[in-house]
Structure 1
Amino acid sequence: MKIPELLAPAGNLEKLKIAIDYGADAVYCAGKSFGLRAKADNFTKEELELAIDYAHQRGKKVYLTLNIIAHNSDLDKLRDYLDYIDSIDIDALIVSDPGVLYLIREAGLDIDIHLSTQANTVNWASAKFWEDYGLERLILARELSIAEINEINEKTDIELETFVHGAMCISYSGRCLLSNYMTGRDANRGNCAQPCRWEYNLVENNRPGQFWEIDDDGDRGSYIMNSKDLNLFNYLPAIINAGVDSLKIEGRMKSLNYVATVTSVYRKALDNILVEGEKYQADPELANHLNKISHRPYTTGFYDGQPGKDGQNYSSSSYIRKYRYLGIVKGYLPELGQAIVQVKNKINIGDNIEFFGPGADCFEQKVTNIYSNDGEELDVANHPESIVKIPVSKEISENYIIRRHENEEN
């Protein structure tokens, strides 16, 4: 069985390193312009070069997003950026706009091109068009069933990439104008205000100022465009058998905890499939880690066909947060049996905490002592980004995530 590439999001350099350390075969990221996540930290030119070096030293790949729908005012700056891209060893460019693709070809860049999901590829004929044009990969629209993906694979020879986890968009693979119309922020140039997550009421034209809640069988239904999050963990064998070459995780604006957990869980599952083959069964304990990150209720999206009303969350746009991300391990002192921890949220003496690391390695313990970086005993670590030391029950390595159940009483 051919195991596909696992492709993880990298909103900044730290998240890129986490994604790779937790098992991603490749990462996708953006520079400071021309990507569709303007509010992510993104990468300066210097950071991008460091990222490429970090990935390539470990045999991993870096894909750069240039997937805005470009206006005339973008093109001269894009030409300059393409000159820079030609000087670095990026593995592929993710593009949606034919005009951007034209400029890449005009510049003579010898680099793989992946067609963004923004291009809305939903049939095999479109896939053949892009294959004949010389592209190396299609990032398929989210609006495809497993049967449709299988048919596209059977009728083409181009690489196929599909989303398996993360946020869903109410519009066709992100081609949305709501944000432009309602806020002036262009979603197709990376600056979406996410109005699909807002709460709405009904107004009748002849009664301005009078608002009615939108109800559905007596329940509140105001968040009429709020999609649940995609989770296809339990369907990996079928997706692999459909001929998909790359499994994509959404989330360049998500936390380190999200990137580490989701990447590690899917990496472990793919490794299990490689070993077990047709005998593979999805591990519910492994899947449960996906419930420990901040997420909306899960859906399988279009996997079995058109989703019904169960694909939306009409009652709220808030996230489910069962666990709190407390910090990340920056080192281990074997002579003292202590983890060096960068604090993200408050850690108390007596907390029952969970350590989670690459390979979905997980163990729990109680916090018995906390020491400052200077060795002073503390009752609590409550300064974000501060460095503390915590005794641990087993040897641990850098970049383990620390979290605590939200209902844990201290």
Structure 2
Amino acid sequence: MKEQRTLELLAPARDLACAMAAVDHGADAVYIGASDFGARVAAGNSVDDIHHLCDYAHRYGVRVYVTVNTLIYEDEIDKAYQLMKQLAEAKVDALLVQDMAAIELVARVRRELGYAPALHASTQCDTRSAGKVRWLQQQGFSRAVLARELSLDEIKAIHQAVPTVELEGFVHGALCVSYSGVCYASQHCFGRSANRGACAQFCRMKFDLLDADGHTIEHDRHLLSLKDMNRLDHLEELADAGICSFKIEGRLKTADYVKNVVSAYSRKLDDLVRRRPDDYRRASLGKVSYGFTPDLKKTFNRGFTTYFLHGRQPDIASFDTPKALGEMVGHVKELRRDSFTVAGIAAFANGDGLCFLNDEHELEGFRVNRVEGGRLFPFKMPTHLRKGMTLYRNQDVAFEKLLSGKTADRRISVAMVYGLTQNGFRLRMSVDGKSAEAKNLQAEASVAFDHQAAKRPQADNIRQQLAKLGTTVFHCEPADITIEQGADELFIPSSLLSELRREAVESLQKKIVESTEQNQVLPTKDTDGPQQTEMYGGEKCCRDTEQVERNVNFEQPQDLYNAYSYLYNVANHLARQFYERQGIKVEAPAFELKEPGKALVMQCRHCLRYALGHCVRRGGTAPRWREPLTLRLGDGRRFRLEFRCDLCQMNIYAE
């Protein structure tokens, strides 16, 4: 019989409020940054807040992952260890890491506490192949976050080759133009390391594109700026390919963004599980009742793309602007001195933010002061607005007002069985669901009270009292309460029914939390599986498989890693020792510690030769320019392009 697979919707959170909103609106897991070492320095949170989040999320079986995915400098090793230990004590379920020193540090936590969070290999680990996933598994990682650039076929091949590793894939949000973890442009240009959580968004800047003779091919355009990912309509394909965790990007986004996007994806996953219950189940508990209809076009976006999901596509970039366009709302129909009308079906409200691309391909925005019928009066009439121009709404006041209130209610459906004990009454409460996890989640409470024949029927009152679950996370319809053994023929005070209900609720809630937290990695036992054994701090890897592990093909662009060994991102002695144990000699330290003269600063699947229609391998016309091509910033700094057609990759070098 085919095994039922668990699907997880993984939501971002910049703070506790965003995280709780994600849980309320249907997330199965949340990822959040701690006070340090997160790849978004502007999205840090205290351990106390993360502990509070774990308490809140675990009530629904929702897991909490913490990003500790920056490079760790030598003088930060003890600080990183203390943070990981505190996060373990806060009962976080996993740590997302990039620096291989984290393997040793988590092992120390496990040795000291007897348990530790699971390890997930962050997308910063640059995981593009089955070989890399297998290698990560052998280092103790239970999950790999795949590179955003992978296609369905590539994901499927990885899953088939390494079926025992959980695969996490991005489905929504902003896209980095470089493979994550191997982008050094921000560090090179501004001294702000992406691998240290301080990306300056080099890829959103304007460039000139020059040929080898200095001729300008493109002038002052956002040539590296990509649209935002949107794979809402492709979750089933991704699940069938092997993705188990669907990741939404956005740890700098607001709670409104989280509410809207999580709701849209959660409903879509619910539809998939409902249609294919034998194949899939949700990873957490509870059904969400929504007070609004999610609409992805109404929250921050640069236009949408599925990226490389179905192979290389021509519409992934946004050369005109890196800013949010929002939803297309129509075209300018008629202009007057102080107002205009729109041809379209959208309704507008006072305060809406609208924008358009002018004749120079520049994005211009303005605020609607008032709406009179179908006529819009801006605060200030845009100078470059023309009849026929396409209008976008990047701020929808009515939608924002709707999201500012309570928009979701998440409850776990339970069934109850009420019956007799020898000297009183009992209540059994169980999570209603078909999965093995749900069937094992049940609790029982009992109360002593003499069996006395009732003077009037008790069934309605019993069901009414037991169904009063109020502010708990549970919900039960009176019809889902079974009365056994003729218990409704015996009298019981309503106060004792309330006591039975309260005790059963507390017991079941405790079991759900315990079931969630038992996912924490326990002390290592002697097993046959390499993924279950330690290989930290010089200890033997997987019984007698140490040499095998050293010979695993890393399967990255090996010539690049050999030529530019800073790509391994070694920033401390623990990471260096780790690679030495793998038989990998890392010649150069991390880019942030010692920048080379002429450096490879980006590796991109996005290709300008293809985007401009000149990839002859894919039906484009042969270019008339002479290569190499160069990107030039407004301040004159230049970056040479290398087209690696054997890898279907564009590399960017700092000159």
TM-score in terms of structure 1 length: 0.72
Q: Deviations over 1:149-181 (max 9, x none)?
A: 111111111111100111110111243111111
Q: Measure, in 2, the Cα distance between the counterparts of 1:126 and 1:166.
A: 25
Residues 310-389 of structure 1 mapped to structure 2, 5 A cutoff:
310-322=315-327, 353-354=398-399, 355=402, 357-358=407-408
Q: Measure, in 2, the Cα distance between the counterparts of 1:256 and 1:86.
A: 26
User: In 2 relative to 1, CA 27–198 (structure 1 residues): closer, same or farther, beyond 3 Å?
Assistant: same
- Say yes or no: does 1:136 pair with 2:135: no
Deviation at 1:359, TM superposition (A): 8.6
Q: What 5-or-longer segments of structure 2 have no aligned partner?
A: 278-291, 328-347, 352-366, 373-395, 411-470, 472-655
Q: Secondary structure at the match of 1:6?
A: strand
Q: Which residue of 2 aligns with 1:200?
A: 207
Maintained 8 Å contact 2:7/2:244: yes
Deviation at 1:141, TM superposition (A): 1.1
Q: Which residue of 1 aligns with 2:105?
A: 103
Deviation at 1:203, TM superposition (A): 8.1
Maintained 8 Å contact 1:200/1:214: no
User: In 2 relative to 1, CA 131–297 (structure 1 residues): closer, same or farther, beyond 3 Å?
Assistant: same
Deviation at 1:186, TM superposition (A): 1.1
AA matched with 2:154: E
Q: Secondary structure at the match of 1:160?
A: strand
AA matched with 2:121: L
Q: Deviations over 1:60-115 (max 9, x none)?
A: 11001111022213212112222322322111111111122222223335321111
Deviation at 1:198, TM superposition (A): 1.1
Percent identical residues:
33
Q: Deviations over 1:389-409 (max 9, x none)?
A: xxxxxxxx9xxxxxxxxxxxx
> How many aligned positions are there?
326
Maintained 8 Å contact 1:34/1:190: yes
Q: Measure, in 1, the Cα distance between the counterparts of 2:369 and 2:58.
A: 36
- Say yes or no: does 1:27 pair with 2:30: yes
Q: Secondary structure at the match of 2:276?
A: helix
Q: Which residue of 2 aligns with 1:266?
A: 265
Maintained 8 Å contact 2:210/2:217: no
User: In 2 relative to 1, CA 253–143 (structure 1 residues): closer, same or farther, beyond 3 Å?
Assistant: same
Q: Measure, in 1, the Cα distance between the counterparts of 2:254 and 2:132.
A: 35
User: In 2 relative to 1, CA 349–199 (structure 1 residues): closer, same or farther, beyond 3 Å?
Assistant: closer
Q: Secondary structure at the match of 1:114?
A: strand
Deviation at 1:304, TM superposition (A): 1.4
Maintained 8 Å contact 1:267/1:359: no
Maintained 8 Å contact 1:3/1:270: no
Q: Measure, in 1, the Cα distance between the counterparts of 2:323 and 2:349.
A: 15
User: In 2 relative to 1, CA 348–142 (structure 1 residues): closer, same or farther, beyond 3 Å?
Assistant: same
Q: What 5-or-longer segments of structure 1 have no aligned partner?
A: 279-285, 327-344, 361-396, 398-410
Residues 138-287 of structure 1 mapped to structure 2, 5 A cutoff:
138-156=144-162, 157-201=164-208, 215=218, 222-277=221-276
Q: Measure, in 2, the Cα distance between the counterparts of 1:85 and 1:33.
A: 12
AA matched with 1:193: A
Q: Which residue of 2 aligns with 1:91?
A: 93
Q: Which residue of 1 aligns with 2:310?
A: 304
User: In 2 relative to 1, CA 348–174 (structure 1 residues): closer, same or farther, beyond 3 Å?
Assistant: farther
Q: Indicate which of 287, 295, 311 corresponds to 1:289.
A: 295
Maintained 8 Å contact 1:268/1:359: no
Q: Measure, in 2, the Cα distance between the counterparts of 1:325 and 1:8.
A: 32
Maintained 8 Å contact 2:210/2:216: no
Q: Which residue of 2 aligns with 1:378?
A: none
User: In 2 relative to 1, CA 166–174 (structure 1 residues): closer, same or farther, beyond 3 Å?
Assistant: farther
User: In 2 relative to 1, CA 181–275 (structure 1 residues): closer, same or farther, beyond 3 Å?
Assistant: same
User: In 2 relative to 1, CA 358–131 (structure 1 residues): closer, same or farther, beyond 3 Å?
Assistant: same
Q: Indicate which of 61, 66, 69 corresponds to 1:67.
A: 69
Cα RMSD after superposing both structures: 3.2
Residues 118-133 of structure 1 mapped to structure 2, 5 A cutoff:
118-133=124-139
Maintained 8 Å contact 2:349/2:397: no
